[in-house]
Amino acid sequence: MSAVVSARGLSVGYDAGAVVAGIDLDVRDGTTLALVGVNGSGKSTLLKTIIGLLPRVKGDITVFGESPGRHAARIAFLSQFHRSESTLPFRAIDIVRMARFSSLGLLARPGKRDEQLVREAMETMGVAGLAQEPLNALSGGQRQRVFLAQALARDADLLLLDEPNTNLDAAGAAAYRAALKAAVGRGKTAVIATHDIEDASTCDYALLLAQRVVAFGPGCSVLTPKALLETFGVSIRMGDENVVVAERSHRQECEE
C-alpha cells in the first residue's frame, strides 16, 4: 500500500505560530486514521493543512505524493461549519449535488452516473425522503446527514471528516459508520477528526493530539487510559459492550 498522506517533522498552525509540531505519519491506501483530541487540540488545523487550506508552518507533507492542494478533486472534505445552510435557499438534494461540481466543470450538466451517486449517497445516509426539503428547515442531525451524503457523493479517494458525528442520533451515527466501512472496503482512505473514543477505536490508526503529539499508532495500541488522560484530562476506557467510561484521576480529585 502506498501513502496517501505522508508527513515528516510537520508543524501546523496559523500566522501566530504552530498549534501542533513534530507530526510524523503515513496514511496508507484503504486505511482509516482518527485524529483524537478536545476542541483546540489541532485536529481541524491538521485537516485543513492536508487539504491545502492552510500552509504548513514547518516540515514536510505530501498528499498523493505531491504538495497539498494539487489533487483537490480526489478529496472530499466535511467541515464542522457549513455557511450555506442558513444563508441560501438550498434544498437537501442541491447540497448533495454540489459534490459532483468539481468533476463536471462550469457548463456541463450532471449525467446518469452523477445522479446515481447523489441518489445512493442520500439513501445511504437516510435522507432520500428529504431531497426536496429546504436545508434550513431540517434539524441539526438531518443537516449533518445531508452533508455526510455530500461527502460520499463526491466518490473521492480521500475522505477528510471533521467531527462527522456532530448532532447525529444513534441511527444517524450507525448509518455514518456503515457508510464509512463500505467506502474503505472499496479502497477509499479516511482521516477523521473526532473526540468520540468509540469512533476512534474502530479506525486502523489514531493520532492523539493536545496541541502536541501525545501518541500515534494502531488504535488498539495507543487508545490507552494513560494516553487518553494526557489527551483529555480524564482517564477513559472502553467498558462492557463498548460503553465509554470516563474516570477522573485521583490526583485531579485531590488538586480540586
For domain 3-223, the CATH architecture is: 3-Layer(aba) Sandwich (3.40)
Instruction: Write the DSSP assignment of 140-156 as a string of letters.
Output: HHHHHHHHHHHHHHTT-
Judged against a pLDDT cut of 60, whether residue 86 lies above it is answered with no
Strands (E), 29-157: 32-36, 58-63, 75-78
Of 92-106, 115-129, 131-145, the poorest mean pLDDT is in 92-106
Q: Which residue has the higher pLDDT, 102 or 162?
A: 162
Q: 38 near 195, Cβ under 8 Å?
A: yes
Least confident interval from 23-27, 78-82, 129-133, 159-163: 78-82
| In the predicted structure, residue 144 carries a pLDDT above the cut 80 | yes
Which H or E run includes 185? helix 170-185
For 238-243, what is the mean pLDDT? 50
* pLDDT on residue 111: 80
Q: From CA 214, how far away is CA 232, in angstroms rounded?
A: 11
* Predicted confidence band of residue 249 (pLDDT cuts 50, 70, 90): very low
Query: What pLDDT score was predicted for residue 243?
Result: 40
Phi and psi angles of residue 142, each rounded to the nearest 5 degrees, phi first: -65, -40
Residue 152: predicted pLDDT: 97
Per-residue pLDDT band at 247 (split at 50, 70, 90) = very low
Distance, in Å, from the CA atom of 201 to the CA atom of 161, rounded to the nearest integer, reads 16
pLDDT for residue 43: 95
Handedness of CA 215, 221, 225, 228 (dihedral sign): positive
Residues with Cβ within 8 Å of 232's Cβ and at least 6 positions away in sequence, in order, are 37, 38, 195, 246
Residue 11 scores a pLDDT above 70: yes
Is the model more confident about 18 or about 253? Answer: 18
Q: Cα 44 from chain centroid?
A: 9
Crossing angle between the packed helical segments 112-124 and 170-185, to the nearest 10 degrees: 130
Angle between helices 112-124 and 140-153 (to 10 degrees): 140
Could you give the residue range(s) of every CATH 3.40.50.300 domain in the chain?
3-223
Q: Tell me how far apart the alpha carbons of residues 149 and 13 are, in angstroms, rounded to a whole number.
A: 29
Q: Is 255 exposed, middle or buried (0-12, 13-18, 19+ CB in 10 A)?
A: exposed
- What crossing angle do the helices spanning 170-185 and 140-153 adopt, rounded to 10°? 10
Give Cβ neighbours of residue 111 (< 8 Å, ≥ 6 apart): none
Cβ–Cβ < 8 Å for 1, 29: yes
Percentage of the chain with pLDDT > 70?
85
pLDDT over 60 at 244, yes or no: no
State the pLDDT at residue 253: 35
Distance, in Å, from the CA atom of 127 to the CA atom of 121, rounded to the nearest integer, reads 9
Q: Convert the pLDDT of each residue in 36-66 to its tens digit.
A: 999 899 999 999 999 999 999 999 999 999 9
pLDDT score of 250 more than 70: no
Q: Tell me if 123 sits within 8 A of 151, measured CB to CB.
A: no
Q: Considering only CA atoms, which of 88, 194, 76, 80 is closest in space to residue 140?
A: 80
